[in-house]
Amino acid sequence: MLYGIGLGPGDPELLTVKAVNIIKKSSRIYVPGEMAADLVKQYTDTVPEILDFPMIRDKDELEKIWLKNAVTIANHAKDKTVAFCLIGDPNFFSTFTHLKKVLKEVAPEVEVKTVPGISAITSCVSQMEEAVETSFEVHDGSDVGYMIHLKARKPQEIIKKFEKEGYNEFIFAEKLFSDDEVIIKGKENIPEEGHYFSIVYAKK
Ligand SMILES: C[S@@+](CC[C@H](N)C(=O)[O-])C[C@H]1O[C@@H](n2cnc3c(N)ncnc32)[C@H](O)[C@@H]1O
């Protein structure tokens, strides 16, 4: 089993209890850099192994490195609990997303889960002593490819609007992480009405 674990934005007190518990029970821990390694070391005696993900343009060379890292992880994650820990959240602008894709190709038998971490996207505002009170965009220079709509009381109306903007994959979620959690994939299965604690996730 491989866990992709978000370590939060850098403060060792901003890891989740779940992240710390999995770090403690992992027989191997991989990290993409020193910052993540230093955070992990505060919670375990297992020495984190730094995997190199160089920022180079040579695609063939890059593929080779991704493959080598995925095989290294897969060899241990087949029968042991292994953690790949990174700064922020493992599903936002993250090395882990591509790693997961390569791993699925080379070792589909390895189960993969992610543990959310406090992302720079939300935590920066707290540290700046600011707030966000309206819709907002997050950019890294690439085209916008996702939308997250909060307070999705009328999910089908939201989906219709997103479809006009080119979105074609939809997930509806209610009361996430609770005993009453609902996650519905696919436009045709999503209801007309939603609870206040609901979200529509849309992808192009
Ligand atoms: C590849 S993204 C990774 C984002 C990460 N997965 C997350 O959820 O926070 C890296 C970018 O996130 C931002 N970032 C991450 N941690 C940060 C921090 N502690 N302070 C400021 N910016 C940060 C920077 O813009 C950085 O270039």
- Could you tell me which CATH class the domain 146-203 is placed in? alpha beta
Q: Is 37 left (phi over 0), alpha (psi -120 to 50) or beta?
A: alpha
Q: What's the CA-to-centroid distance between 190 and ligand 1, angstroms?
A: 33
Q: What's the CA-to-centroid distance between 79 and ligand 1, angstroms?
A: 32
Domain with CATH 3.40.1010.10 in the chain: 2-121
Measured from the Cα of 90, ligand 1's closest atom is 6
Specify the DSSP element, H or E, that contains 97. Answer: helix 95-106
Q: What's the CA-to-centroid distance between 26 and ligand 1, angstroms?
A: 25
Q: Specify whether the CB–CB gap between 165 and 135 falls below 8 A.
A: no
Q: Which residues line ligand 1 (CB under 6 A)?
A: 9-10, 87-89, 92-94, 119-121, 124
Q: Which residues touch 143 (CB under 8 Å, ≥6 apart)? A: none
> How far is C-alpha 150 from the chain's CA centre?
18
Q: Give the model confidence (pLDDT) of 58-70 as tens digits.
A: 889 988 999 999 9
Domain with CATH 3.30.950.10 in the chain: 146-203
Q: Give the model confidence (pLDDT) of 19-61 as tens digits.
A: 999 999 999 999 999 999 999 999 999 999 999 888 888 889 9
CATH topology of domain 2-121: Cobalt-precorrin-4 Transmethylase; domain 1 (3.40.1010)
Whole-model pTM? 0.95
CA distances from 124 to 35, 56, 150, 192 (A): 17, 28, 20, 35
